[in-house]
Chain A
Amino acid sequence: MRLEGKVAIVSGGGTGIGAAAARLFAREGARVVVTGRRVEPLEEVAAETGCRVVAGDMADADHVHEAVAAAVDAFGGLDIVVANAGLAFGGAVMDVDDERWDRTLDVNITGAFRLARAAIPALIERGGGSIVLVSSVNAFVTGTESAAYGTSKAAMNGLARSIAVDYGPRGVRANALCPGWVVTPMGDRSMQDLMTERGISLEEAYDLVTRYTPLRRPATADEIAACCLFLASDESSIVTGTALVADGGGLAMDLTEVAYRQEGP
């Protein structure tokens, strides 16, 4: 039990990476508060794991305070925050209207900032804690027509460093976790255009976007949740301010390598 006695908040905990992390953390002994916009998936996770549910929108400034209060009231404190809630709209800079830009930044980065800001006093109260910001390889490299999402994820890595620098002396660690493609409802939605354009299945679309990365497959949500667990747990107690890349080797390789790999198995 790697999180025995710990209390965690997982934002975006109803589906995908967040749900997988909530389930894994609960199995490892943590008491967990899950947040998200839609109640039904959160209730499903709660029914399986005994998590507390706090439904709400990350763009709502009060929501994060409710989540922290729920953790402290129900479980007596807070040790771990997984800021995982996120969304993705496509679009190059000229295609992104103010509404979509604001919405992306509000949820992905401002929401994570507000959640951290609300949670840090509770973490310090316990002598410290760990904040895991679920970022993306898009913090380092940029896909086409992903201006708002890529910007929000680059900002997330900066936020992790700032928290690590400013609150490290009070025991708070913060790290960014940067996955590549992960099979999740959000990933599924990102595959829709490819599926329509090429007339291919969901599975074929995931295969297409990952076939030239070294591991030649997308991650499962469970694989990324396991990385969240490492960063959340005391196993990583001197790991802070960094970005852990979990991308099947994609960032290690230049795209020109693709030409050589096309002939592979």
Chain B
Amino acid sequence: MSFDHSGRVALITGAGSGIGRATALRLASEGAAVGVVDVRLDAAEETVAAIADGGGTGVAFDADVRERSQIESARDGAVNAFGHIDYLVNNAGLVRMSPLDQLAEEEWDLVLDTNLKGMYLVTQAIAPVIAGEGGGAIVNLATIESEVVVASTGHPQVHYNASKGGVKMLTKALAVELADRNIRVNAVEPGAIATSFVPGGDIRSPEAWASMKDRLLVPRVGEPEDVAAAISFLLSDDASYITGAMLPVDGGWLTR
């Protein structure tokens, strides 16, 4: 165990797969009880089963982060189950790719509402609970695309970039506003991570690696566990002086 989260309670959105699931498993293995929130209940339940297999504690909740009432139900369920909440990981998100001239308003809204507005709705619902317990920490999922437009994929995504640029400043603004309630707020910026996040993309394929290997300063693609480790650090008391910070977990993607 690296970071000690014993006795802490974490709520993680989008925890049914990918980075969210890896983070749930990691925090549970380090002693936290985890509220596993996902828009798909079966996915959340799979994560909870994996947590239980590792001897940890988790409860599944289905909620769409775009829906305030669903978020509040998940929050109330987690408080009922665990008594309090100390950590929030705003992980739920999605990407769509469309050039501007074909980008439908519905798709813009889907991406912005999930990635950015959802973070506001969830944080607004959970922060008072964290503050009521004397404080805690929040980690938001930004991306290297909060900093740069990754055009190498050839897939335009102005809505995704706009949403994740928004996450960066939302993180800083929340850090400033919530500091007096003893809540630290930071973001991780994953680069190329081997999840099913990008529709139709297999990041482990030889073609994908060939296109990336000269871009990266480490000899492998990132794993969800790499991001989970950074999230665990930022939530932990080891990061007690870090707030309003962006932490790239990107194999050096942003370095050059």
Contact = CB atoms under 8 A, between A and B. Distances in A.
Given A238-B226, A249-B176, A168 B242 contact: no
Given A161-B255, A173-B218, A216-B179, A239 B240 contact: no
A252 B176 CA distance: 7
A39 interface: no
A247 interface: yes
B96 to A, nearest CB: 26
Given A241-B252, A264-B180, A252 B217 contact: no
B16 interface: no
A97 interface: no
Contact of B243 (A165, A173, A229, A249): A249
Interface stretch (A46-54, A69-77, A107-115, A220-228): A220-228
Interface string A231-242: 001011111111
Interface string A171-195: 1010000011000000000000000
Given A238-B218, A241-B256, A219 B249 contact: no
Contacts of B244: 214, 245, 247, 249, 251-253
B245 A246 contact: yes
B207 to A, nearest CB: 20
A165 B176 contact: no
B247 interface: yes
Nearest to B213: A169
B247 A242 contact: yes
A239 B252 CA distance: 6
B254 A214 contact: no
Contact of A249 (B179, B218, B237, B250): B179
Contact of A252 (B175, B238, B255): B175
Contacts of B180: 214, 216, 264-265
Nearest to B244: A252
Interface string B183-196: 01000000100000
A66 to B, nearest CB: 30
Contacts of A2: 2
Nearest to B246: A245
Interface residues of A, number: 42
Is the contact region of chain A dominated by helix, strand, or loop, or is it mixed? Answer: mixed
Contacts of B2: 2, 233, 235
B233 A240 contact: no
B217 A169 contact: yes
Given A2-B2, A229-B238, A253-B244, A236 B229 contact: yes
B249 A238 contact: yes
A164 B248 CA distance: 14
B78 to A, nearest CB: 26
B128 interface: no
B210 to A, nearest CB: 15
B150 interface: no
Nearest to A257: B176
B256 A224 contact: no
A238 B224 CA distance: 11
B255 to A, nearest CB: 3
B222 interface: yes
A240 B238 contact: no
A215 interface: yes
A248 interface: yes
A193 B233 CA distance: 36
A240 B241 contact: no
A209 to B, nearest CB: 15
A169 B180 CA distance: 43
Contacts of B248: 239, 242
A237 B232 CA distance: 14
Interface in B69-119: none
Contacts of B216: 168
A244 interface: yes
Contacts of A179: 241
7 contacts: A169-B217, A173-B218, A179-B241, A226-B238, A239-B248, A239-B249, A253-B172
